[in-house]
Structure 1
Amino acid sequence: MADRKTPIAGKRALAYSPTPGPVIDWPESFGTRFTLFVDTEEEFDWRAQLSREARSTSAMAALPGGHARLTGMGAAPVYLIDHPVATSPRAGDALREVLAAGAAIGTQLHPWVNPPFDEPVTPFNSFTGNLPMELEAAKLDTLTDAIRSEFGICPRIYRAGRYGIGPNTAHLLARRGYRIDSSMRSRYAYTSEGGPDFFAIGNDAFWLDRAAGLAELPLSTVFTGATRAGGERLYRHLAKLPRARGLFARAGLLSRVALTPEDMPIGDCLEAVRVALGEGVRLLNLSFHSPSLMPGFTPYVRNESDLREFYCWWDAMFDLLDSRGVRAASENDLIGVLDAMA
């Protein structure tokens, strides 16, 4: 384990850029499905520097009501909880309520608030995969053990906070019995702060470690617009030209659309779903952050009006998915199919 007095800093010469493994061939009986993985976390000031002291979980009081509304629309949410949530009595009560209603929970690792604290808090170290393997493993064990102790559950789905997967993460997850990672955000890159580059990652689920039965379910991101066939390469090129991405998006030529209500207009997301289904994507992976269920805790839901728009987004999204025969996939649905492929 890293010495507490030794800073872990500096950036790799090259960002971690995973390449997709063999695409998972979902059986016909699986149909076309969607998942909803919720980043279930503490509240913090999104504009401020990260802090170990930001551990409040008061927004978790809204989780049971939000869960009821989402499941009433046909979703099967999986709540990926981090250390402040896993160890908070208030958050634990809310989670036990949704677990009793049939929810599933997994893990989300925010290293800056997850013991052991053997590294300084820096943007680079906020990507867990940048830490030494021994420290990444120790933090993962602390979180996994906390969930097992508090809820009697062995989590099977993982997400690295800030999508901070690294070269050792898949090995560490496989050794601990995890079956699904969802740390990769398709078509995004976090290299400006030393994070990973996912531009090569598309929307199809794939095997991270086929022998261990460990699958990757990337967060869905879809290129839309008249020039969408240019996809990743064109979008990268536009970044080199001032305001080019915005100009292309406003002209209806090329937009990068993530399937989340957070800062993504519903019209754009509905078109992205139509495009993805037309391209044959069999599993769509949607997400949001749990503090968005209560006004004032994220930039996306600042007041009651924003909260109404948040739920209207989901109403429209689930209406489209239902009209296209796209059903929710629960944790058990996903792992049942993966087991059958083992």
Structure 2
Amino acid sequence: MGGRKTVSGYRPPAPAPASFVDWPQDFGTRFTVFVDTEEEFDWGAPLRRDARGTGHMAAMPAAHARFADHGVPLLWLIDYPIVTCPRSVWILGQLIGDGRSSIGTQLHPWVNPPLDEEVCVRNSFTGNLPAELELRKLTVLTDAIASAFGARPIAYRAGRYGVGPNTLAALVALGYRIDTSMRSAYDYSSEDGPDFSAIPNHAFRTGPDRAIVELPLTTVFTGHLRNGGAALYRRLGKLPRGRGAASRLKLLSRVALTPEDMPLEEALEAVRVAVGEGVKLLNFSFHSPSIEPGHTPYVRDAADLAAFWRWWDAVFAELARLGVAPASLGEIIDAACGAAPTSASATGAGGL
């Protein structure tokens, strides 16, 4: 996979310009929505193996309908508690019947067999595990998804964005073609996680034989000093309240494309900046438990949920105004890698 491992975490290298995906002209500028489809747990407490609730999935059909009303397909990246919940599998099986939404993989190691490692912050980043254990966990999850949905998944995200030096080789070995574990301009090294400071917003080819297309989660710097980017943002983090002051003064804000803790006006500006900078695929994301109040710090009550949906409505309106259309996983693969297979996975688990 390249990059370097340090005592504070793994740092993937900046991709070479030659590795950037050269999108076809008729692809235009597009966007996609990833859903980290996972169990419910207390975000403020230590991780636990027995926190496996999936009750919020009953609200997923109504949530899916809201996106469908805008013509937006979803890519559900599901983890082990979801795929081993029969009701969740049945619900998702019905929803991918829309012909454009699809199923991918998300690995939370602390609830994914084999449960051989200590539950701790460092081990919550799957890429920190021994290569053999990471591969075994990923194999168990991949096989479970294939069994549940009748097709092997080909899109992956490491839970907590916990990609490591052995991850991409494991993905290639299991037939994956897309990774979306890298969160552009974010640094988790203070928790022994990866540092994505060198990762841009543009899709690129990576891994053994460049067999994986990396779709980084889009992060945009806005404000008068936005050209300072990740380096300036890092320096501001060393000053007391430096980042908050810079944001309030409209000097520099780091904006991820998610309704979770990202103010609407800043998100709209980030969309405009990304399109203006020539990003051809804008990648949005949210956590599945946020569709029901009380499961995440982002949606605590009915008022938060209403704001969550207002955020999406406004963002979709702005994307439409800018001529940015939604893309399914199959359309992305077709544009990035050539014609998609015509197997059962075209509208199912792999989305290809």
Corresponding letter in the other structure for 2:57? M
Name 1:31's counterpart in structure 2. Answer: 28
Name 1:197's counterpart in structure 2. Answer: 195
Displacement, 1:338?
2.5
CA distance in 1, matches of 2:289, 2:7: 35
Name 1:176's counterpart in structure 2. Answer: 174
Question: Gaps spanning 5+ residues in structure 1: where?
Answer: 1-10
Q: Contact between 1:292 and 1:301, CA under 8 Å: does it hold in 2?
A: yes
Name 2:347's counterpart in structure 1. Answer: none
SS in 1 for 2:338: helix
SS in 1 for 2:10: coil
Question: What are the Cα deviations for residues 101-153 of structure 1, in whole angstroms up to 9, with x where unaligned?
Answer: 23200000000000001101000000000000000000000000000111112
Q: Contact between 2:104 and 2:156, CA under 8 Å: does it hold in 1?
A: yes
Displacement, 1:211?
3.2
Structure 1 window deviating more from structure 2 (202-211 vs 151-160): it is: 202-211
For residues 131-170 of structure 1, the aligned pairs below 5 Å read 131-170=129-168
Asked if 1:125 corresponds to 2:123, the answer is yes
The number of aligned residues is 332
Asked if 1:15 corresponds to 2:12, the answer is no
For residues 239-250 of structure 1, the aligned pairs below 5 Å read 239-250=237-248
Displacement, 1:39?
0.1
CA distance in 1, matches of 2:263, 2:201: 20
Corresponding letter in the other structure for 2:268? L
CA distance in 2, matches of 1:280, 1:185: 18
SS in 2 for 1:167: coil
Match of 1:223 among 221, 224, 230: 221
Asked if 1:104 corresponds to 2:102, the answer is yes
Name 2:74's counterpart in structure 1. Answer: 77
Name 1:274's counterpart in structure 2. Answer: 272
Question: What are the Cα deviations for residues 227-284 of structure 1, in whole angstroms up to 9, with x where unaligned?
Answer: 1011111111111111111110000000000000001011000000111111111110
Name 1:7's counterpart in structure 2. Answer: none
Displacement, 1:12?
4.6
CA distance in 2, matches of 1:222, 1:55: 33
TM-score normalised by the chain length of structure 1: 0.94
CA distance in 1, matches of 2:54, 2:171: 26
Asked if 1:292 corresponds to 2:290, the answer is yes
Corresponding letter in the other structure for 1:89? P
Displacement, 1:20?
3.3
SS in 1 for 2:31: strand
Displacement, 1:213?
3.0
TM-score normalised by the chain length of structure 2: 0.92
Q: Contact between 1:74 and 1:318, CA under 8 Å: does it hold in 2?
A: no
Asked if 1:62 corresponds to 2:89, the answer is no
Corresponding letter in the other structure for 1:309? A
CA distance in 1, matches of 2:137, 2:234: 34
Question: Gaps spanning 5+ residues in structure 2: where?
Answer: 341-352
Name 2:344's counterpart in structure 1. Answer: none
Name 1:238's counterpart in structure 2. Answer: 236
Displacement, 1:175?
1.4
CA distance in 1, matches of 2:90, 2:59: 12
Displacement, 1:84?
0.1
Corresponding letter in the other structure for 1:13? V
Structure 1 window deviating more from structure 2 (111-120 vs 13-22): it is: 13-22
Question: What are the Cα deviations for residues 45-87 of structure 1, in whole angstroms up to 9, with x where unaligned?
Answer: 0001000000110001111110111121121110000000000
CA distance in 2, matches of 1:81, 1:287: 13
Question: What are the Cα deviations for residues 139-194 of structure 1, in whole angstroms up to 9, with x where unaligned?
Answer: 00000000011111210100000000000111110111111100011111111110
Match of 1:325 among 318, 323, 329: 323
Name 2:92's counterpart in structure 1. Answer: 95
SS in 2 for 1:79: strand
Q: Contact between 1:20 and 1:206, CA under 8 Å: does it hold in 2?
A: no
CA distance in 2, matches of 1:134, 1:210: 17
CA distance in 1, matches of 2:95, 2:209: 33
For residues 45-56 of structure 1, the aligned pairs below 5 Å read 45-56=42-53
CA distance in 2, matches of 1:13, 1:306: 39
Structure 1 window deviating more from structure 2 (143-152 vs 301-310): it is: 301-310
Corresponding letter in the other structure for 2:313? D
Displacement, 1:202?
1.3
Corresponding letter in the other structure for 1:276? A
Report % sequence identity: 58
Q: Contact between 1:213 and 1:339, CA under 8 Å: does it hold in 2?
A: no
